[in-house]
Amino acid sequence: MHTEKKDLGHIREKRAFIIDMDGVIYHGNTLLRGAAQFVEWLKREEKRFLFLTNSSERSPEELSQKMARLGIEVGATHFYSSALATAAFLASQKPGGSAYVIGEPGLIHALYRAGYTMNNVNPDYVVVGEASSYNLDTLIKAVRLVVAGAKLIGTNPDLTGPGEGGLVPACGALVAPIELATGKKAYFVGKPNPLMMRHALRTLGVTREETIIVGDRMDTDIIAGIESQIETVLVLTGVTAESDISRFAYAPSHVLEGVFEIPGA
């Protein structure tokens, strides 16, 4: 169903790259084949690039440090997460508001920087991201606050994410029990929400025609590109296998085994 399977010359000609991280550059703390060479190629060819991740756990500084530990030197300005997108969205909706947050420091710090305060009594929003602290007590608290009138926000709709040992539950799976218990639907800010893609294009200072998005998920990365009219590359190093592609009513522009194919020899 996909169109050009491997038009590498066309991909390499693009001026800007929006790149997912988990399943594209690394799995957990394991660097994927050719990832370092791909980033070096981006720098050498003076491409504009932004790592766009639905993970809300880490700040751009932490993501930069993680990449450095894996052997890739990239400054914090090259990272944008669903945590930052969520904080920006809430600040635009209700400046100076408050939130009850189920999430990691990257999300909490992003909200603080956007002028938000933490509130577990009568918050404007209940915000859910990936969280190791998620348990029955936090779930009960979130449900009661949403029932009392707080609006429910998810940093991203991913049900699962890739980990070193296999798939792990992600934000969408953690939000689902709150939705079921309250009858309220969450608003998800991360991919495939076009808000994320528009921010990426603004940050890179490019048009959508000059840009290509590289990701491993049909249900977030590829549909995000399609809905934002940005060309897409699906890499088969993460969540979506080649046999899965035909299950979707849309197709990526290109399918590659991994980012190692892009720089070429």
d(CA 28, CA 162) in angstroms, rounded, equals: 7
The model carries a pTM of: 0.87
Looking at the predicted structure, is the pLDDT value of residue 265 above 70?
no
Strand order across the 151-154 sheet: 117-118, 98-102, 125-128, 151-154, 187-188
pLDDT digits (tens, 9 = 90+) for 31-66: 999 999 999 999 999 999 999 999 899 999 999 999
Q: To the nearest 10°, the Cα dihedral for 248, 250, 254, 255?
A: 0
pLDDT, residue 28, reads: 83
Looking at the predicted structure, is the pLDDT value of residue 1 above 60?
no
Q: Average of pLDDT values for 112-141? A: 96
Write down the catalytic residue from 22, 124, 216, 221.
22
Q: Average of pLDDT values for 146-160? A: 95
**Whether residue 22 lies in the annotated active site:** yes
Closest CA to 72 of 38, 49, 106: 38
Do 8-54+191-261 and 91-188 share a fold?
yes
Length of the chain: 265
Q: How many helices (H) and strands (E) in the chain?
A: 9, 15
Q: Average of pLDDT values for 228-236? A: 96
**CATH no. of 8-54+191-261:** 3.40.50.1000
Q: Where do the structural domains in the chain lie, given as residue ranges?
A: 8-54+191-261, 91-188
Looking at the predicted structure, is the pLDDT value of residue 253 above 70?
yes
pLDDT digits (tens, 9 = 90+) for 178-206: 999 999 999 999 999 998 999 899 999 99
pLDDT, residue 163, reads: 62
Look up the CATH superfamily of 91-188. Answer: HAD superfamily/HAD-like (3.40.50.1000)
By the 10 Å C-beta count (0-12 exposed, 13-18 middle, 19+ buried), 260 is classed as middle
Looking at the predicted structure, is the pLDDT value of residue 5 above 60?
no
What are the b/e assignments for 132-165, b being 16+ CB within 10 Å?
Answer: eebeeebbeebbebbeeebbbbbbbbbbebbbee
pLDDT digits (tens, 9 = 90+) for 71-115: 999 999 999 999 999 999 999 999 999 999 999 999 999 999 999
Which residues fall within 8 angstroms of residue 257, CB to CB, at 6 or more apart? 235, 236, 237
DSSP state of 12: H
